[in-house]
Amino acid sequence: MHDIEPYYSWRDYYISSEDKNSPFFDREPSEFYFTNKIYNHYIHPQWDDFGSSTMYLKILFADYDEGYIIIELIGEWNDALHNDIMELKRTIIDHFIALNITKFIIIGEHVLNFHSSDDCYYEEWYDDLKEEAGWVVMLGLADHVIEEMDQIRLFQYILYGNHWNELNWRALTPLYLCRIVDKMIENPKLIGKASHIIKNIR
C-alpha cells in the first residue's frame, strides 16, 4: 500500500499545497518518511490526513470560478466505527462549500471497503448543494463498496456506479472531466457517451 501515490499527472493544473484556499496549503509532505498508516500498513506520504484513522485523501483539482473540485481517497471508509463521513464533511466538504464549490468528483478506486452507519451527513451534503444545482459524483468504486452504499440507499444523494465507473477520467484534463460530468448530469441521454461530447466541450 505504501507504493500507491495519489494521481500526479494533473500537477501542472493544480497543487493543493500551493492553493491558499486549500486546508493543506503550504503543507509539504516528505517523499521519504512514511508516518501515516491504515491499520498496520504505511501509506505513501503524499496522501493528506483529514482526521480519519482509516482513510486519507488528496485534492487533485479545484476551480473556484466554476465551482468544481476533484478529490481522491484511499483506505477504508468506515462510518460505523469512525464516522468518516462526519470528518470528511466537517473538515473538507464544508470548507469548500463556503468557497462556492458546489460540484464534487470523488475518485474512490483505492477505497478498500465501506462500512455504513446512517445517511444524515450525506443528506446534509445533498441539501447543501441542491439549491445551487450542485452534485456529488463518485468514480471507480469497487463493486462490493457500491453494494454497501446501496444498502443505505446513498444513491438518493450521490451519483455512483455503472456508467460512472466506466468514465476514463485519466484520459482527460481535470477541467474537461468536470465539464463532461456536468453535461452528463444535465442531459441523461449523454450518459455512457462521454467520448462523443468531449469535442463539444473543448
Residue 143 is predicted with a pLDDT of 96
Cα separation, 142 vs 27, in Å, equals 30
- How far apart are alpha carbons 194 and 80 in whole angstroms? 35
Residue 197 has pLDDT above 60, yes or no: no
Q: Is residue 192 very low, low, confident or very high in pLDDT (cuts 50, 70, 90)? A: low
**Grid cell for residue 28:** 509539504
- pLDDT of residue 64 exceeding 90, the answer is yes
DSSP H/E element including 56: strand 55-63
In the 8-state DSSP scheme, what is residue 185? H
Give the domains, in start order, of the chain with CATH numbers: 16-201 (3.30.750.24)
Helix (H, G, I), strand (E, B) or coil at 181: helix
42: nearest Cα among 7, 2, 86, 14: 2
**Which cell numbers hold the place of 129?**
448543494
- Residue 7 carries which DSSP code? P
Which pTM does this prediction carry? 0.91
Residue 38 has pLDDT above 80, yes or no: no
Neighbours of 27 (CB within 10 A): 11
- Asked if 50 and 44 touch (Cβ cutoff 8 Å), the reply is no
CA distances from 156 to 15, 39, 73, 126 (A): 32, 31, 21, 9
Q: How confident is the model at residue 45 (pLDDT cuts 50, 70, 90)?
A: confident
For the chain, what is the mean pLDDT?
A: 90
Q: Give the pLDDT confidence of 124-174 residue by residue, as tens digits.
A: 999 999 999 999 999 999 999 999 999 999 999 999 998 899 999 999 999
